[in-house]
């Protein structure tokens, strides 16, 4: 997914996270993944929880 986001950096992309517990098991990994998504030019959104 990150490779795809980086290749399409100039196209607006949203990563939809429906169940936040499925993104990562630990807080540190969760933060790293959200940072990597943002660094690849995408935004993270969830219909079930406010990401901040």
Per the domain annotation, does 11 fall within a domain? yes
Who wins on pLDDT, 52 or 39?
Answer: 39
Local confidence band at 33 (pLDDT 50, 70, 90 cut-offs): very high
Tell me the two tokens of residue 42: 């995408």
Q: pLDDT above 70 covers what percent of the chain? A: 100
Distance from C-alpha of 1 to C-alpha of 8, rounded to nearest angstrom: 11
In a domain, 26, yes or no: yes
Return the H-helix or E-strand segment holding 39. helix 27-39
What domain range is 33 assigned to? 2-45
pLDDT at 43: 94
Number of domains in the chain: 1
Average pLDDT for 26-39 = 92
What is the rounded CA–CA span in Å between residue 39 and residue 52? 16
Phi-psi region of 45 (alpha: psi -120 to 50; beta: other; left: phi over 0): beta
- 52 belongs to a structural domain: no
The average confidence (pLDDT) of the chain is 90
- Please check whether residue 33 lies inside any domain of the structure: yes
Indicate whether 51 belongs to any domain: no
Kindly state the percentage of the chain with pLDDT values over 90.
Answer: 62
């Amino acid at each position: 997914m990150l490779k795809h986001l980086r290749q399409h950096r100039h196209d607006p992309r949203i990563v939809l996270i429906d169940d936040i517990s499925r993104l990562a098991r630990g807080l540190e990994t969760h933060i790293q993944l959200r940072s990597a998504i943002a660094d690849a030019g995408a935004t993270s959104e969830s219909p079930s929880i406010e990401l901040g």
